[in-house]
Amino acid sequence: MPTPHIEAVDGDIAKIVIMPGDPKRCEYIAKKFLKGARLINKLRGATAYTGYFKNVRVTLFPSGMGIPSMGIYSNELFDLYNVDIIIRIGTAGSYSEDLKVYDLFLVDSAYSNTNYDEEVLGENINIINSSLELNTIIDKTSKELGLVLKRGRAFTTDAFYSNSKTTTAFALKNACSVVEMESFALFLNAKKYHKRATSILTITDEIYSGNQISAKEREIRLNSMINLVLESIIKIEK
């Protein structure tokens, strides 16, 4: 059932999808972590792979950047490819001095003042939760792996280049610990189709200090997050 955005056919995409933003990160994970990884999409440069991690079939599919891109891909995966679970793995900026670069952050809820909610569901929803079931599994797995996992609310913004002081004040007013650009759309589509979704993020920018990691590090230095999500999916009841 190819779409204007995905060329995969029936059976190509697993029931569980891990969604980095960057297509190169999909390729990196497929080659380093999966067995039998097969390229199942390259339309529009969105290189996606399906393979196995410890006998669990999983698809890596890039979301691209921002609410519109995540909205398109997650909608088609849930609706047309019958995906049950999508876990976003991405990067975020931190508003809190308690969150340093390379810290792991599990998104319990996402806040946004986008119009995406009204256009998709006809409702005014500013805060939407991720899957408690998935979050419980991921939290337990992080402890088993000896990883420190912090949790809270993400601000999903429409504007990467924004007035930083205004945006920071707005996010903190709404109890957001980090800022990113995709989780709200993912969680909203999960709500729309009664599916499960969550986001695990690695802090790559400290907004309060200006400290950040390089573009290359964002591509390949996120192994703790990747290993956490892969070890978590083997515990999910299908």
Nearby residues of 110 by Cβ (< 8 Å), 6 or more positions away: 127, 128, 130, 153, 154, 155, 156, 183, 184, 187, 199
We report the CATH number of the domain holding residue 147 as 3.40.50.1580
Residue 9 lies in a domain: no
- Separation between Cα atoms, residue 70 and residue 38, nearest integer Å: 22
Q: Which 3 state secondary structure label does DSSP give 23? A: helix
Secondary structure E strands in 141-238: 149-156, 178-180, 196-206
pLDDT at 237 over 80: no
Q: pLDDT digits over 99-119, tens only?
A: 999 999 999 999 999 999 999
79: containing domain: 16-233
pLDDT band at residue 209 under the 50/70/90 scheme: confident
Q: Is residue 6 part of a domain?
A: no
- What is the domain count for the chain? 1
Q: Can you give the three-state secondary structure of 128-140, one letter per residue? A: EECCHHHHHHHHH
| Residue 201 covered by a domain | yes
Residues noted as catalytic: 205
- Of the candidate ranges 43-47, 110-114, 156-160, 234-238, the one whose mean pLDDT is the lowest: 234-238
For residue 36, what pLDDT band results from cuts at 50, 70 and 90?
Answer: very high
Q: Judge whether 236 and 137 are in contact, CB under 8 Å.
A: yes
In this model, does residue 235 exceed pLDDT 80?
Answer: yes
Q: Does residue 3 sit within a domain?
A: no
Cα–Cα distance, 41 to 30 (Å, whole number): 13
Instruction: Concatenate the DSSP letters of all residues of 163-188 into one string.
Output: -HHHHHHHHHHTT-SEEESSHHHHHH
Strands 149-156 and 127-129, bridge-based pairing: unpaired
Mean pLDDT of the region 13-24: 96
In a domain, 179, yes or no: yes
How much is the pLDDT for 211?
86
Q: How confident is the model at residue 213, as a pLDDT?
A: 84
Residue with tokens 């060329």: 7
Residue 2 lies in a domain: no
For tokens 């390089």, name the residue. 214
